[in-house]
Structure 1
Protein backbone atom coordinates (compact mmCIF):
# COMPACT_ATOMS: atom_id res chain seq x y z
CA UNK A 1 0.00 0.00 0.00
CA UNK A 2 1.30 3.48 -0.79
CA UNK A 3 -0.09 6.97 -0.38
CA UNK A 4 1.26 10.06 -2.17
CA UNK A 5 0.70 12.38 0.77
CA UNK A 6 1.42 10.15 3.73
CA UNK A 7 2.48 12.53 6.52
CA UNK A 8 5.09 9.95 7.55
CA UNK A 9 7.00 10.92 4.43
CA UNK A 10 7.12 14.64 5.22
CA UNK A 11 10.05 15.95 7.20
CA UNK A 12 11.13 18.78 9.50
CA UNK A 13 13.69 19.34 11.86
CA UNK A 14 12.21 11.56 36.14
CA UNK A 15 9.13 10.25 36.99
CA UNK A 16 8.40 11.97 40.30
CA UNK A 17 7.29 8.99 42.35
CA UNK A 18 6.48 5.32 42.53
CA UNK A 19 2.69 5.82 42.79
CA UNK A 20 2.29 3.02 45.29
CA UNK A 21 -1.30 3.85 46.27
CA UNK A 22 -3.23 1.24 44.37
CA UNK A 23 -6.21 -1.09 44.69
CA UNK A 24 -4.51 -3.72 42.56
CA UNK A 25 -3.68 -7.03 44.19
CA UNK A 26 -0.15 -6.74 42.78
CA UNK A 27 2.81 -4.73 43.96
CA UNK A 28 3.57 -1.73 41.76
CA UNK A 29 7.31 -1.26 41.22
CA UNK A 30 9.09 2.05 41.11
CA UNK A 31 8.99 3.47 37.60
CA UNK A 32 12.61 3.06 36.63
CA UNK A 33 12.90 0.61 33.75
CA UNK A 34 11.70 2.74 30.83
CA UNK A 35 13.51 4.95 28.35
CA UNK A 36 15.08 8.08 29.79
CA UNK A 37 15.10 11.16 27.59
CA UNK A 38 18.82 11.50 28.31
CA UNK A 39 19.59 7.98 27.11
CA UNK A 40 20.37 6.83 23.59
CA UNK A 41 16.82 6.68 22.21
CA UNK A 42 16.63 4.34 19.26
CA UNK A 43 12.93 4.85 18.59
CA UNK A 44 13.17 8.61 18.85
CA UNK A 45 16.01 8.74 16.35
CA UNK A 46 14.08 6.71 13.81
CA UNK A 47 11.29 9.28 13.67
CA UNK A 48 13.26 12.40 14.57
CA UNK A 49 12.76 13.91 11.10
CA UNK A 50 8.97 13.72 11.29
CA UNK A 51 6.71 16.58 12.26
CA UNK A 52 4.24 15.93 15.06
CA UNK A 53 0.99 17.85 15.17
CA UNK A 54 -0.12 19.75 18.29
CA UNK A 55 -2.07 17.35 20.47
CA UNK A 56 -5.68 18.23 21.20
CA UNK A 57 -7.26 16.09 23.94
CA UNK A 58 -10.57 14.59 22.86
CA UNK A 59 -12.90 11.74 23.62
CA UNK A 60 -13.21 8.77 21.28
CA UNK A 61 -14.80 9.11 17.86
CA UNK A 62 -16.94 6.63 15.98
CA UNK A 63 -15.54 3.15 15.36
CA UNK A 64 -14.73 2.83 11.63
CA UNK A 65 -16.60 0.36 9.46
CA UNK A 66 -14.87 -2.85 8.37
CA UNK A 67 -13.45 -1.47 5.13
CA UNK A 68 -12.03 1.67 6.75
CA UNK A 69 -10.66 -0.34 9.67
CA UNK A 70 -8.85 -2.68 7.27
CA UNK A 71 -7.34 0.21 5.32
CA UNK A 72 -6.30 1.96 8.54
CA UNK A 73 -4.66 -1.21 9.84
CA UNK A 74 -2.72 -1.66 6.60
CA UNK A 75 -1.60 1.98 6.69
CA UNK A 76 -0.34 1.63 10.26
CA UNK A 77 1.44 -1.65 9.51
CA UNK A 78 3.24 -0.07 6.57
CA UNK A 79 4.37 2.88 8.67
CA UNK A 80 5.72 0.65 11.42
CA UNK A 81 7.57 -1.52 8.92
CA UNK A 82 9.08 1.52 7.24
CA UNK A 83 10.64 2.74 10.47
CA UNK A 84 11.66 -0.63 11.90
CA UNK A 85 9.05 -0.60 14.66
CA UNK A 86 7.19 -3.60 16.04
CA UNK A 87 4.08 -3.91 18.18
CA UNK A 88 3.83 -5.88 21.35
CA UNK A 89 0.27 -7.12 20.95
CA UNK A 90 -1.93 -5.96 23.82
CA UNK A 91 -5.14 -7.63 24.92
CA UNK A 92 -8.27 -6.26 23.30
CA UNK A 93 -10.41 -6.20 26.43
CA UNK A 94 -11.22 -2.49 26.46
CA UNK A 95 -8.18 -1.71 28.61
CA UNK A 96 -5.66 -1.66 25.74
CA UNK A 97 -4.55 1.96 26.15
CA UNK A 98 -3.91 1.50 29.85
CA UNK A 99 -2.26 -1.89 29.27
CA UNK A 100 0.04 -0.42 26.62
CA UNK A 101 1.05 2.45 28.91
CA UNK A 102 1.63 -0.02 31.77
CA UNK A 103 3.83 -2.12 29.51
CA UNK A 104 5.92 0.90 28.59
CA UNK A 105 6.14 2.16 32.18
CA UNK A 106 6.52 -1.09 34.10
CA UNK A 107 7.22 -3.68 31.38
CA UNK A 108 4.03 -5.38 32.53
CA UNK A 109 0.59 -4.77 30.94
CA UNK A 110 -1.07 -6.29 34.01
CA UNK A 111 -0.52 -3.03 35.90
CA UNK A 112 -3.25 -1.43 33.78
CA UNK A 113 -5.60 -1.03 36.76
CA UNK A 114 -3.01 1.06 38.53
CA UNK A 115 -2.47 3.22 35.44
CA UNK A 116 -6.21 3.80 35.05
CA UNK A 117 -6.53 4.71 38.72
CA UNK A 118 -3.77 7.31 38.46
CA UNK A 119 -5.30 8.77 35.28
CA UNK A 120 -8.70 9.10 36.94
CA UNK A 121 -7.06 10.74 39.94
CA UNK A 122 -5.40 13.25 37.63
CA UNK A 123 -8.65 13.98 35.80
CA UNK A 124 -10.49 14.44 39.08
CA UNK A 125 -7.90 16.57 40.86
CA UNK A 126 -7.22 18.87 37.88
CA UNK A 127 -10.70 19.20 36.45
CA UNK A 128 -10.14 22.71 35.07
CA UNK A 129 -7.42 21.39 32.76
CA UNK A 130 -9.66 18.85 31.07
CA UNK A 131 -13.39 19.56 31.37
CA UNK A 132 -13.56 21.80 28.29
CA UNK A 133 -12.73 18.75 26.14
CA UNK A 134 -15.59 16.63 27.48
CA UNK A 135 -18.90 17.21 25.63
CA UNK A 136 -20.97 15.66 28.43
CA UNK A 137 -21.30 15.74 32.19
CA UNK A 138 -17.75 15.69 33.52
CA UNK A 139 -18.74 13.64 36.55
CA UNK A 140 -20.49 11.21 34.21
CA UNK A 141 -17.36 10.98 32.08
CA UNK A 142 -15.24 10.19 35.14
CA UNK A 143 -17.70 7.58 36.36
CA UNK A 144 -17.66 5.90 32.96
CA UNK A 145 -13.89 6.07 32.49
CA UNK A 146 -13.28 4.65 35.96
CA UNK A 147 -14.75 1.30 34.90
CA UNK A 148 -12.43 -1.48 33.80
CA UNK A 149 -12.96 -2.19 30.12
CA UNK A 150 -13.88 1.40 29.23
CA UNK A 151 -11.77 2.50 26.27
CA UNK A 152 -9.17 5.18 26.90
CA UNK A 153 -9.19 8.26 24.66
CA UNK A 154 -6.91 11.17 23.79
CA UNK A 155 -7.93 12.94 26.99
CA UNK A 156 -6.78 10.03 29.15
CA UNK A 157 -3.50 10.04 27.20
CA UNK A 158 -2.99 13.69 28.17
CA UNK A 159 -3.89 12.94 31.78
CA UNK A 160 -1.41 10.04 31.80
CA UNK A 161 1.33 12.30 30.43
CA UNK A 162 0.54 14.87 33.13
CA UNK A 163 0.25 12.38 35.99
CA UNK A 164 3.36 10.32 35.25
CA UNK A 165 5.37 13.26 33.84
CA UNK A 166 6.08 11.43 30.57
CA UNK A 167 6.10 12.18 26.89
CA UNK A 168 3.85 9.78 25.01
CA UNK A 169 4.76 9.26 21.36
CA UNK A 170 1.99 7.73 19.26
CA UNK A 171 2.37 6.37 15.74
CA UNK A 172 -1.14 6.44 14.30
CA UNK A 173 -3.14 5.02 11.41
CA UNK A 174 -4.74 8.40 10.71
CA UNK A 175 -4.47 9.41 7.06
CA UNK A 176 -3.31 12.95 7.79
CA UNK A 177 -1.57 12.38 11.11
CA UNK A 178 1.28 9.94 11.31
CA UNK A 179 2.87 10.95 14.57
CA UNK A 180 1.57 12.60 17.74
CA UNK A 181 3.59 13.69 20.76
CA UNK A 182 1.75 14.21 24.03
CA UNK A 183 3.74 16.09 26.65
CA UNK A 184 2.90 17.01 30.24
CA UNK A 185 1.40 20.47 30.54
CA UNK A 186 3.24 21.69 33.63
CA UNK A 187 6.48 19.71 33.98
CA UNK A 188 9.34 18.61 31.76
CA UNK A 189 9.06 14.90 30.89
CA UNK A 190 11.72 12.57 32.24
CA UNK A 191 10.53 9.54 30.30
CA UNK A 192 9.40 8.73 26.79
CA UNK A 193 6.79 6.10 25.92
CA UNK A 194 5.92 4.71 22.48
CA UNK A 195 2.48 3.45 21.46
CA UNK A 196 0.75 2.56 18.21
CA UNK A 197 -2.85 3.57 17.62
CA UNK A 198 -5.07 1.77 15.16
CA UNK A 199 -7.59 4.56 14.73
CA UNK A 200 -10.50 4.27 17.18
CA UNK A 201 -9.89 0.53 17.51
CA UNK A 202 -6.79 -0.47 19.47
CA UNK A 203 -3.51 0.54 21.13
CA UNK A 204 -0.33 -1.54 21.21
CA UNK A 205 3.05 -1.02 22.86
CA UNK A 206 5.90 -0.14 20.45
CA UNK A 207 9.48 -1.38 20.32
CA UNK A 208 12.25 -1.58 17.77
CA UNK A 209 12.02 -4.79 15.75
CA UNK A 210 15.19 -6.09 17.41
CA UNK A 211 14.01 -5.24 20.91
CA UNK A 212 10.49 -6.67 20.90
CA UNK A 213 9.97 -8.65 24.12
CA UNK A 214 8.30 -12.03 24.18
CA UNK A 215 5.30 -12.18 26.46
CA UNK A 216 2.37 -14.59 26.70
CA UNK A 217 -1.12 -13.10 26.56
CA UNK A 218 -3.88 -14.46 28.75
CA UNK A 219 -6.62 -13.28 26.42
CA UNK A 220 -7.07 -12.55 22.74
CA UNK A 221 -5.48 -9.46 21.31
CA UNK A 222 -6.62 -7.56 18.23
CA UNK A 223 -5.51 -9.23 15.04
CA UNK A 224 -6.87 -8.35 11.63
Structure 2
Protein backbone atom coordinates (compact mmCIF):
# COMPACT_ATOMS: atom_id res chain seq x y z
CA UNK A 1 0.00 0.00 0.00
CA UNK A 2 1.68 3.21 1.18
CA UNK A 3 5.43 3.48 1.52
CA UNK A 4 5.88 5.39 4.78
CA UNK A 5 8.76 7.83 4.52
CA UNK A 6 11.28 8.12 7.30
CA UNK A 7 11.56 11.48 8.99
CA UNK A 8 15.21 12.36 9.39
CA UNK A 9 16.60 15.19 11.46
CA UNK A 10 17.83 17.69 8.88
CA UNK A 11 19.94 20.78 9.44
CA UNK A 12 18.47 24.26 9.55
CA UNK A 13 20.12 24.88 6.16
CA UNK A 14 18.30 21.94 4.58
CA UNK A 15 15.03 23.16 6.12
CA UNK A 16 15.52 26.60 4.62
CA UNK A 17 16.33 25.06 1.24
CA UNK A 18 13.15 22.99 1.45
CA UNK A 19 11.04 26.07 2.23
CA UNK A 20 12.66 27.93 -0.67
CA UNK A 21 11.93 25.09 -3.09
CA UNK A 22 8.31 24.91 -1.90
CA UNK A 23 7.90 28.66 -2.44
CA UNK A 24 9.39 28.42 -5.93
CA UNK A 25 7.09 25.48 -6.66
CA UNK A 26 4.00 27.45 -5.61
CA UNK A 27 5.12 30.46 -7.67
CA UNK A 28 5.69 28.25 -10.72
CA UNK A 29 2.24 26.71 -10.42
CA UNK A 30 0.62 30.12 -9.93
CA UNK A 31 2.30 31.28 -13.13
CA UNK A 32 1.06 28.26 -15.03
CA UNK A 33 -2.49 28.84 -13.84
CA UNK A 34 -2.36 32.49 -14.84
CA UNK A 35 -1.11 31.75 -18.35
CA UNK A 36 -2.48 28.38 -19.40
CA UNK A 37 -6.12 28.58 -20.47
CA UNK A 38 -6.07 24.89 -21.36
CA UNK A 39 -6.18 23.99 -17.67
CA UNK A 40 -9.69 25.38 -17.30
CA UNK A 41 -12.13 22.49 -17.13
CA UNK A 42 -14.69 22.13 -19.90
CA UNK A 43 -16.73 19.72 -17.77
CA UNK A 44 -17.30 17.33 -20.68
CA UNK A 45 -17.39 14.35 -18.34
CA UNK A 46 -19.90 16.08 -16.11
CA UNK A 47 -22.21 16.83 -19.02
CA UNK A 48 -22.01 13.26 -20.30
CA UNK A 49 -22.54 11.72 -16.85
CA UNK A 50 -25.07 14.20 -15.51
CA UNK A 51 -27.58 11.37 -15.01
CA UNK A 52 -25.54 9.81 -12.20
CA UNK A 53 -27.08 10.16 -8.75
CA UNK A 54 -24.81 11.03 -5.85
CA UNK A 55 -25.37 10.10 -2.23
CA UNK A 56 -25.00 12.93 0.35
CA UNK A 57 -21.33 13.33 1.19
CA UNK A 58 -20.11 13.41 4.78
CA UNK A 59 -16.36 13.97 5.25
CA UNK A 60 -14.65 11.13 7.09
CA UNK A 61 -11.19 9.80 7.84
CA UNK A 62 -10.00 6.57 6.26
CA UNK A 63 -11.55 3.29 7.35
CA UNK A 64 -9.95 -0.11 7.61
CA UNK A 65 -8.08 -1.48 4.61
CA UNK A 66 -10.11 -4.40 3.17
CA UNK A 67 -8.66 -7.89 3.09
CA UNK A 68 -7.36 -9.28 -0.18
CA UNK A 69 -10.63 -10.96 -1.19
CA UNK A 70 -12.76 -7.88 -0.55
CA UNK A 71 -10.20 -5.61 -2.21
CA UNK A 72 -10.18 -7.83 -5.29
CA UNK A 73 -13.97 -7.75 -5.55
CA UNK A 74 -13.98 -3.98 -5.03
CA UNK A 75 -11.42 -3.51 -7.79
CA UNK A 76 -13.43 -5.65 -10.19
CA UNK A 77 -16.58 -3.67 -9.36
CA UNK A 78 -14.80 -0.36 -10.00
CA UNK A 79 -13.31 -1.63 -13.28
CA UNK A 80 -16.76 -2.69 -14.51
CA UNK A 81 -18.20 0.71 -13.69
CA UNK A 82 -15.43 2.50 -15.57
CA UNK A 83 -16.13 0.38 -18.64
CA UNK A 84 -19.89 1.03 -18.31
CA UNK A 85 -19.38 4.80 -18.28
CA UNK A 86 -16.60 4.78 -20.89
CA UNK A 87 -13.99 6.08 -18.45
CA UNK A 88 -10.29 5.36 -18.16
CA UNK A 89 -7.76 5.90 -15.37
CA UNK A 90 -4.45 7.67 -15.47
CA UNK A 91 -2.62 5.56 -12.92
CA UNK A 92 -1.04 7.31 -9.95
CA UNK A 93 1.94 5.97 -8.02
CA UNK A 94 1.13 3.95 -4.92
CA UNK A 95 3.38 5.96 -2.63
CA UNK A 96 0.72 7.22 -0.21
CA UNK A 97 0.27 10.45 -2.14
CA UNK A 98 -2.18 9.07 -4.72
CA UNK A 99 -5.12 11.28 -3.74
CA UNK A 100 -3.03 14.44 -3.96
CA UNK A 101 -1.38 13.23 -7.18
CA UNK A 102 -4.78 12.61 -8.75
CA UNK A 103 -6.02 16.04 -7.68
CA UNK A 104 -2.84 17.67 -9.03
CA UNK A 105 -3.28 15.89 -12.35
CA UNK A 106 -6.86 17.10 -12.62
CA UNK A 107 -5.94 20.65 -11.57
CA UNK A 108 -2.63 21.16 -13.37
CA UNK A 109 -2.17 18.09 -15.62
CA UNK A 110 0.92 17.37 -13.56
CA UNK A 111 0.69 14.79 -10.80
CA UNK A 112 4.16 15.81 -9.62
CA UNK A 113 2.56 18.95 -8.15
CA UNK A 114 1.01 16.81 -5.40
CA UNK A 115 3.16 18.51 -2.73
CA UNK A 116 1.67 21.87 -3.66
CA UNK A 117 -1.86 20.46 -3.50
CA UNK A 118 -1.18 18.91 -0.10
CA UNK A 119 0.15 22.23 1.22
CA UNK A 120 -2.94 24.09 0.03
CA UNK A 121 -5.24 21.48 1.59
CA UNK A 122 -3.39 21.72 4.92
CA UNK A 123 -3.69 25.52 4.85
CA UNK A 124 -7.42 25.17 4.27
CA UNK A 125 -7.77 22.69 7.14
CA UNK A 126 -5.68 24.87 9.45
CA UNK A 127 -7.35 28.20 8.70
CA UNK A 128 -10.92 26.87 8.74
CA UNK A 129 -10.74 24.48 11.65
CA UNK A 130 -14.42 24.80 12.59
CA UNK A 131 -15.48 23.41 9.22
CA UNK A 132 -13.58 20.14 9.61
CA UNK A 133 -12.67 19.32 13.20
CA UNK A 134 -16.03 17.66 13.89
CA UNK A 135 -15.21 14.98 11.31
CA UNK A 136 -11.81 14.12 12.78
CA UNK A 137 -11.92 11.53 15.62
CA UNK A 138 -8.59 12.57 17.10
CA UNK A 139 -6.83 15.70 18.34
CA UNK A 140 -7.04 18.13 15.43
CA UNK A 141 -3.44 19.34 15.75
CA UNK A 142 -2.26 15.73 15.61
CA UNK A 143 -4.37 15.14 12.52
CA UNK A 144 -2.85 18.17 10.77
CA UNK A 145 0.66 17.15 11.76
CA UNK A 146 0.09 13.66 10.38
CA UNK A 147 -1.56 14.84 7.17
CA UNK A 148 1.28 17.28 6.40
CA UNK A 149 3.67 14.38 5.85
CA UNK A 150 4.39 13.25 2.33
CA UNK A 151 3.17 9.68 1.96
CA UNK A 152 0.26 10.10 4.39
CA UNK A 153 -2.96 8.90 2.78
CA UNK A 154 -5.59 11.51 2.01
CA UNK A 155 -9.16 10.91 3.19
CA UNK A 156 -12.62 12.37 2.60
CA UNK A 157 -11.86 15.28 4.92
CA UNK A 158 -8.94 16.31 2.73
CA UNK A 159 -11.14 15.89 -0.35
CA UNK A 160 -13.68 18.28 1.15
CA UNK A 161 -10.89 20.74 1.98
CA UNK A 162 -9.59 20.47 -1.60
CA UNK A 163 -13.08 21.14 -2.98
CA UNK A 164 -13.40 24.17 -0.70
CA UNK A 165 -9.96 25.61 -1.42
CA UNK A 166 -9.94 25.15 -5.19
CA UNK A 167 -13.64 25.91 -5.67
CA UNK A 168 -14.14 22.59 -7.41
CA UNK A 169 -16.67 19.81 -7.46
CA UNK A 170 -14.78 16.60 -6.77
CA UNK A 171 -16.47 13.72 -8.59
CA UNK A 172 -15.64 10.22 -7.37
CA UNK A 173 -16.46 7.06 -9.29
CA UNK A 174 -16.16 4.50 -6.52
CA UNK A 175 -15.96 0.80 -5.75
CA UNK A 176 -18.58 1.16 -3.00
CA UNK A 177 -21.24 -1.54 -3.03
CA UNK A 178 -24.12 0.87 -2.35
CA UNK A 179 -23.20 3.62 -4.82
CA UNK A 180 -20.97 4.14 -7.80
CA UNK A 181 -20.76 7.91 -7.61
CA UNK A 182 -20.10 10.57 -4.96
CA UNK A 183 -20.01 14.35 -5.43
CA UNK A 184 -18.05 16.56 -3.04
CA UNK A 185 -19.15 20.17 -3.35
CA UNK A 186 -17.48 23.33 -2.00
CA UNK A 187 -19.09 24.53 1.22
CA UNK A 188 -19.50 28.23 0.50
CA UNK A 189 -19.24 28.75 -3.25
CA UNK A 190 -20.47 27.44 -6.57
CA UNK A 191 -17.90 25.15 -8.18
CA UNK A 192 -16.04 26.60 -11.14
CA UNK A 193 -14.61 23.26 -12.32
CA UNK A 194 -14.92 19.52 -11.89
CA UNK A 195 -12.19 17.12 -10.79
CA UNK A 196 -12.81 13.47 -11.71
CA UNK A 197 -11.18 10.73 -9.62
CA UNK A 198 -11.65 7.01 -9.26
CA UNK A 199 -11.66 5.62 -5.74
CA UNK A 200 -10.80 2.01 -5.06
CA UNK A 201 -12.24 2.05 -1.56
CA UNK A 202 -9.62 2.54 1.17
CA UNK A 203 -6.85 1.50 -1.22
CA UNK A 204 -6.11 3.92 -4.06
CA UNK A 205 -7.10 7.00 -6.10
CA UNK A 206 -6.51 7.60 -9.81
CA UNK A 207 -7.24 10.48 -12.18
CA UNK A 208 -10.18 9.92 -14.58
CA UNK A 209 -10.62 10.75 -18.25
CA UNK A 210 -12.96 9.74 -21.02
CA UNK A 211 -11.68 6.61 -22.73
CA UNK A 212 -9.27 7.70 -25.44
CA UNK A 213 -8.42 11.00 -23.75
CA UNK A 214 -5.92 9.71 -21.17
CA UNK A 215 -2.67 11.65 -21.62
CA UNK A 216 0.53 9.65 -22.18
CA UNK A 217 2.63 9.09 -19.10
CA UNK A 218 5.92 7.37 -18.43
CA UNK A 219 5.63 5.30 -15.24
CA UNK A 220 8.20 5.98 -12.52
CA UNK A 221 7.10 3.67 -9.75
CA UNK A 222 5.03 0.57 -9.23
CA UNK A 223 1.31 1.14 -9.82
CA UNK A 224 -1.52 -0.36 -7.79
CA UNK A 225 -2.69 -2.89 -10.30
CA UNK A 226 -3.62 -6.54 -10.22
- Shorter-chain TM-score bucket reads 0.7 to 0.9
Q: TM-score, normalised by structure 1?
A: 0.86
Q: Gaps (5+ residues) in structure 1?
A: 1-20
Greater share of helix residues, 1 or 2?
2
Normalised by the length of structure 2, the TM-score is: 0.85
Alpha-carbon displacement from aligned partner over 1:70-124 (angstroms, at most 9, x marks no partner): 0000000000000100000000000000000000000000000000000000000
1:33 aligns with 2:38: yes
Structure 1: which 4+ aligned runs deviate by more than 3 Å? 31-36
Deviation at 1:220, TM superposition (A): 1.2
Please point out which of 210, 213, 217 is paired with 1:208.
210
State whether structure 2 residue 160 is matched by structure 1 residue 155.
no
Alignment of 1:1-224 (within 5 A): 23=22, 26=25, 27-28=28-29, 29-30=32-33, 32-36=37-41, 39=42, 41-224=43-226
Kindly report the root-mean-square deviation, in angstroms, between the aligned alpha carbons of the 2 structures.
Answer: 1.5
Residue matched to 2:9: none
The 8 Å contact of residues 33 and 39 in structure 2, kept in 1 or not, is answered as no
In 1: Cα distance, 2:88 partner to 2:40 partner: 16
The number of equivalent residue pairs is: 201
Residues 55 and 180 in structure 1, CA contact (< 8 A), matched pair in contact too: yes
**Cα distance change, pair 188–22 in 1 and its aligned pair in 2 (3 A):** farther
- Shift in Å, 1:35: 4.9
What is the CA–CA distance in structure 1 between the aligned matches of 2:221 and 2:125, rounded to whole Å?
29
Are residues 94 and 24 of structure 1, via their aligned partners in 2, closer, same or farther at CA, if it must alter by over 3 Å?
A: farther
- Go from structure 1 to structure 2 and tell me whether the alpha carbon gap of 1:105 and 1:120 turns closer, same or farther (over 3 Å shift): same
The CA distance in 2 between the partners of 1:81 and 1:108, in whole Å, is 25
Whole-Å separation in 1 of the counterparts to 2:168 and 2:118 = 15
Whether the 8 Å CA contact 2:88–2:210 is kept in 1: the answer is yes
- The runs of 5 or more residues in structure 2 that have no matched partner are 1-19
Task: Measure, in 1, the Cα distance between the counterparts of 2:182 and 2:82.
Answer: 14
